[in-house]
Amino acid sequence: MRGVTVVTGTGTEVGKTVVTAALAAAALARGLSVAVLKPAQTGLDAG
């Protein structure tokens, strides 16, 4: 993995956070530098 990796999904609760955590852990295990950020909040509040 080099450069920027973007994780997107079709909606909320589809596993983006789990995939992001797994990719970050794999990159760290390979000795790569990792920065994770969430540029925008998605989804709707209940109610």
- The two three-digit tokens of residue 22, written as one number: 């797994």
Catalytic residue among 8, 33, 38, 43: 38
The closest of 10, 1, 8 to 35, measured between CA atoms, is 1
The answer to whether residue 38 is catalytic is: yes
Q: How far is the C-alpha of 29 from the C-alpha of 22, rounded, in Å?
A: 10
Residues catalogued as catalytic: 38
